[in-house]
Amino acid sequence: MWGSRRLSSSGGHFLGVVGSGCRVGRAERPRLASWAVYSDSQLIWTLQNKPWIFSEHRTVCFKSCRMTFSSLNRIKSYWPPLTRPYSAAHTTVDSSEVKTFLALAHKWWDEEGVYAPLHSMNDLRVPFIRDNLLKTMANHHPGKPLSGMKILDVGCGGGLLTEPLGRLGASVFGIDPVDENIKTAQHHKAFDPVLDKRIEYKVCSLEEIAEETEDTFDAVIASEVVEHVADLETFIQCCCRVLKHGGSLFITTINKTQLSYVLGIVFSEQIAGIVPKGTHTWEKFISPEKLESILESNGLLVQTVAGMIYNPFSGHWHWSENTSLNYAAHAVKSMAADHLGPADFVSKEETEAPQAEASTISQVHEELKE
Amino acid sequence: MAARLALSRSCALPASARKSSLVSCRRWSGNTADTVYDVVVSGGGMVGAAMACALGHDIHFHDKKILLLEAGPKKVLDKLPETYSNRVSSISPGSATLLSSFGAWDHICNMRYRAFRRMQVWDGCSEALIMFDKVNLDDMGYIVENDVVMHALTKQLEAVSDRVKVLYRSKAVGYSWPGPFSMADSSPWVHITLGDGSTLQTTLLIGADGHNSGVRQAAGIQNVSWNYDQSAVVATLHLSEATENNVAWQRFLPSGPIALLPLSDTLSSLVWSTSHDHAAQLVSMDEEEFVDAVNSAFWSDAHHTDFISSAGTMLQYAVALLKPTKVSARQLPPSVAKVDAKSRVLFPLGLGHAAEYVRPRVALIGDAAHRVHPLAGQGVNMGFGDISSLLHHLSTAAFNGKDLGKDSE
């Protein structure tokens, strides 16, 4: 549309100044909605997190900023009413993240390669998802415990988590903005005729399918994704939108603490090379308290928050009471989001974290015993 | 064909074995019309059939496809024959638990088995003796004919025929595994070629094909093995008089151990491990001579010498000073009156042990992994132990939605 073309000219200039840019994504992906444009997200992110850039390139930036913002206002009028007005970025996909993952698109299924920690994380996340979903089902088929469930795996990558869920009987829809990832995932599942039927993949972002898949899914999984999205608020809104009432949202991500900077970025990326360099940005990590507040303000009641610890020597993950590094959260879409009064909300938030953790620990201990 | 041979690893292929299973690391861009089985068990003996049965009855495998390949024909046992088979096994209580977990033990109980409560093991040259029994004289183990076990397993396999398919008279002639690094365009499954030319694919291949395992050879797993210079003679013996017959007897002679295992009040099974020559003599001598040989093997003290007797008594005295123990009196086994005609058979004995039991997409169980001397009655029990352990891992993996072949812990 004409709006986006205008934007690309000014946006492109701006991006050139900042020194980063990913036109690849924009050119190749088919657009469902005219408002999913990447340069805006880049602008907002940079403004929030790297203000020093502007001090150096002040005049140039200011001019292009003004142009971009005016175009933005025009675009705003085309947005669907659901989007909250205070969030200027209206896409959840971050193009620099897309670029990082594009480089590693073929390595997903190498179990001893860069994605080895994600493979072994399945030992924790599959039972976590499976057991919490089984609680909501009255009876289930032996051998196919999740049969009848429709699951959406957002940011499915190469399908590492999608395939085990498919094996457990669920119908899984995996989406990812990087089309090389989806190609790898589709190729891998093609070898198994059972999985081929149960899993479907698509190259798109969450907001692109949010409208047509409203109220469809029994569960939405965003594992190791929320620390890569550009606009978390919109992302959670869309997750909530596509979930059925009573449906579950599962998130695994990294906490924003000093420890996660030291171990998660400095040690894992730069020293030990457990995670490829540049995969994570500490500013995008989110604490469980903040995540809970976003979830609750969108009508998702948090059921469980549990910490996960990776042992780089054994290559295995373990549940932990400590959420200062990685953690998993399970929330359920409630019937009424706006029944919560402010007082309830505050006290709930304060007591939620330790209480949830305490109840999780006994739950996790039970699981461990099994 | 030539290309495949050229690619095969030279260390695993002696010239004679080239005709049998082929080692192939070639990446197979497979025919996707083949059914992909979740597990294929190669070898339908007691351990292979029990593995397939256990998987078929496991609750987390209800959605999976399992195949059992057996080279021989299906053995149908309409009626239990009156004469006992000469091949019997001592089933330990742990194995009995496994068999009852998928309902096979009930069938065995309905057919026939013999529980024994005591075991006496003593020496041929001295008074050395060990007596085994359990607290309250519980059952220590069960002597069951191999045919009875097979029949019970076959019945239970039929009960889960929607999940477990059994192919009789199907011998696998070739196996090929995916390459060591995952290539995007090659099939990640194991390919099996059968004798009739058909092919199948599976995520996990379990080798239960005996001590000359084709699966083990094809996978290139190193095997330490040697032949004992012994053969075992088996026979079904009639006792002189009916007794309670719940004791298992074993005597260690200079030539090898001789064992008498109870089958019924009047019948016992013989397993006599001795040199090849002596074994050949025993099988060919006439029945009366054979019976005399057996009785004297258990009863005669011909190998006792004064030196050993006095040394033994002194040692016992010294030990009794330090720690007084109850000295068990040596009992004598029941005497044998007759041997069943045509029940005398011999087979050679050897040892075998595979260097690895599991590798990606392959697991070895039973004699394919470990072959032992029958003197302790543990061969098939270890195989059943393999099954319980492997089943536990596979079941957990299936419940976690994992790719079964990758679970190589």
> pLDDT averaged over chain A?
74
In the structure, what pLDDT confidence band is assigned to residue A111 with cuts at 50, 70 and 90?
Answer: confident
Is residue A53 predicted with pLDDT exceeding 60? no
Residue of A168, A172, A182, A316 to mutate, interface with B, max B Cβ within 10 Å = A168
Test B401 with A165 for CB contact under 8 angstroms: yes
Q: By percentage, how much of chain B surpasses pLDDT 90?
A: 57
DSSP state of A31: P
Of A130, A187, A193, the CB nearest to B184: A187
Of B60, B187, B400, the CB nearest to A126: B400
Test B36 with A169 for CB contact under 8 angstroms: no
Residue A102: the pLDDT is: 82
Find the helix or strand (DSSP H, E) in which B294 lies.
helix B287-299
Residue B220: both structure tokens together:
């290139």
Residue B343: the pLDDT is: 87
Q: Which residues pair with B358 in a beta bridge?
A: B363
Is residue A162 predicted with pLDDT exceeding 80? yes
> pLDDT averaged over chain B?
86
Between A and B, how many residue pairs show a Cβ–Cβ distance under 8 A? 59
CA A146, A147, A150 angle in degrees (round to 5)? 80
- Extents of the domains making up chain B: 35-302+331-400
- Assess A169–B contact: CB distance below 8 Å, yes or no: yes
HSE of B354, CA atoms in CB hemisphere, 13 A: 27
In the structure, what pLDDT confidence band is assigned to residue B327 with cuts at 50, 70 and 90?
Answer: low
Residue B53's nearest CA partner among B377, B365, B374, B376 is: B365
Please state which of the ranges A265-269, A334-338, B78-82, B256-260 shows the lowest mean pLDDT: A334-338
The predicted model gives A37-54 an average pLDDT of 46
B184 contacts on A by Cβ (under 8 Å): 106, 184, 187
Helix, coil or strand: residue B409 = coil
Question: Highest mean pLDDT range out of A196-210, A281-295, B378-392?
Answer: B378-392
- Assess B173–A contact: CB distance below 8 Å, yes or no: no
A143 contacts on B by Cβ (under 8 Å): 59-64, 398
pLDDT by residue (tens digit) across B177-231?
Answer: 887 665 556 778 889 999 888 899 999 999 999 999 999 999 999 999 999 989 9
Of A126, A127, A144, the CB nearest to B63: A144
ipTM of the modeled complex = 0.78
A167 contacts on B by Cβ (under 8 Å): 398, 401-403
The pTM assigned to this predicted structure is 0.76
Please state which of the ranges B314-318, B326-330, B345-349 shows the lowest mean pLDDT: B326-330
Residue B310: the pLDDT is: 86
Is residue A221 predicted with pLDDT exceeding 50? yes
Q: What is the DSSP string of B177-242?
A: PPPSS--TTS--SEEEEETTS-EEEEEEEEE-S-TT-HHHHHHT--EEEEEEEEEEEEEEEEESS-
B59 contacts on A by Cβ (under 8 Å): 142-143
B 209-238 near A (Cβ less than 8 A): none
- Assess A196–B contact: CB distance below 8 Å, yes or no: no
A190 contacts on B by Cβ (under 8 Å): 32
Test B400 with A127 for CB contact under 8 angstroms: yes
- Assess A192–B contact: CB distance below 8 Å, yes or no: yes
> Scanning every residue of chain A, which has its alpha carbon at the shortest distance from the alpha carbon of B63?
A143
Quickly name the fold that domain B35-302+331-400 has: FAD/NAD(P)-binding domain (3.50.50)
Residue B76: the pLDDT is: 84
- Assess B16–A contact: CB distance below 8 Å, yes or no: no
Q: By percentage, how much of chain A surpasses pLDDT 90?
A: 29
Of B32, B64, B406, the CB nearest to A143: B64
Report how far residue B371's alpha carbon sits from residue B361's, in angstroms, rounded to the nearest whole number: 22
A160 contacts on B by Cβ (under 8 Å): none
Test A110 with B60 for CB contact under 8 angstroms: no
Report how far residue B347's alpha carbon sits from residue B333's, in angstroms, rounded to the nearest whole number: 25
Test A106 with B184 for CB contact under 8 angstroms: yes
* Phi, psi of A6, deg, nearest 5: -60, -45
CA A268 to chain CA centroid, nearest Å: 20
Residue of A106, A122, A191 to mutate, interface with B, max B Cβ within 10 Å = A191
B27 contacts on A by Cβ (under 8 Å): none
Q: How far is B390 from chain A (nearest CA, A)?
A: 17
> Scanning every residue of chain A, which has its alpha carbon at the shortest distance from the alpha carbon of B65?
A194
Q: Are A161 and A153 in contact (CB under 8 A)?
A: yes
- Assess B325–A contact: CB distance below 8 Å, yes or no: no
Residue of A147, A167, A189 to mutate, interface with B, max B Cβ within 10 Å = A167
B 178-197 near A (Cβ less than 8 A): 181-182, 184-185, 187-189
Test B401 with A143 for CB contact under 8 angstroms: no
Test A163 with B401 for CB contact under 8 angstroms: yes
- Assess A191–B contact: CB distance below 8 Å, yes or no: yes
CA A69, A72, A74 angle in degrees (round to 5)? 120
Is residue B18 predicted with pLDDT exceeding 60? no
Any idea which residue has 């549309």 for tokens? A1
Q: Are A198 and A165 in contact (CB under 8 A)?
A: no
**For every residue of B374-396, which 3-state class applies, written as one string?**
HHHCCHHHHHHHHHHHHHHHHHH
**A21: phi > 0 → left, psi -120 to 50 → alpha, else beta; which?**
left
pLDDT by residue (tens digit) across A169-194?
Answer: 999 999 999 889 999 999 889 888 88
Q: How far is A246 from chain B (nearest CA, A)?
A: 24
Q: Which amino acid is at B307?
A: F
The predicted model gives B245-258 an average pLDDT of 92
Is residue A90 predicted with pLDDT exceeding 80? no
Residue A267: the pLDDT is: 83
pLDDT by residue (tens digit) across B224-233?
Answer: 999 998 999 9
B61 contacts on A by Cβ (under 8 Å): 143
- Assess B120–A contact: CB distance below 8 Å, yes or no: no
Residue of B37, B61, B396, B400 to mutate, interface with A, max A Cβ within 10 Å = B400
Residue B3: the pLDDT is: 44
**Helix B46-57 and helix B93-101: axis angle, to 10°?**
50
pLDDT by residue (tens digit) across B143-184?
Answer: 999 999 999 999 999 999 999 999 999 888 899 888 766 555
- Assess A369–B contact: CB distance below 8 Å, yes or no: no
Test B184 with A126 for CB contact under 8 angstroms: no
> Scanning every residue of chain B, which has its alpha carbon at the shortest distance from the alpha carbon of A183?
B184
Test B188 with A191 for CB contact under 8 angstroms: yes
Residue of B28, B29, B59, B63 to mutate, interface with A, max A Cβ within 10 Å = B63
Of A110, A141, A164, the CB nearest to B402: A164
Question: Highest mean pLDDT range out of A342-356, B321-335, B365-379?
Answer: B365-379
pLDDT by residue (tens digit) across B262-304?
Answer: 999 999 999 999 999 999 999 999 999 999 999 999 988 887 8
Q: Which amino acid is at A251?
A: I
Residue B94's nearest CA partner among B137, B152, B50 is: B50
Q: What is the DSSP string of B70-127?
A: -SS-----SS--SSPPS-EEEE-HHHHHHHHHTTHHHHHHHS--EEE-EEEEEESSSS
> Scanning every residue of chain A, which has its alpha carbon at the shortest distance from the alpha carbon of B406?
A111
Residue B129: the pLDDT is: 86
Greater model confidence, B409 or B358: B358
B187 contacts on A by Cβ (under 8 Å): 191
In the structure, what pLDDT confidence band is assigned to residue B110 with cuts at 50, 70 and 90?
Answer: very high
Residue B7: the pLDDT is: 41
Is residue A86 predicted with pLDDT exceeding 70? no
Residue A28: both structure tokens together:
């190749």
B60 contacts on A by Cβ (under 8 Å): 142-143
Find the helix or strand (DSSP H, E) in which B262 lies.
strand B256-262
B403 contacts on A by Cβ (under 8 Å): 163, 167
B402 contacts on A by Cβ (under 8 Å): 122, 126, 164, 167
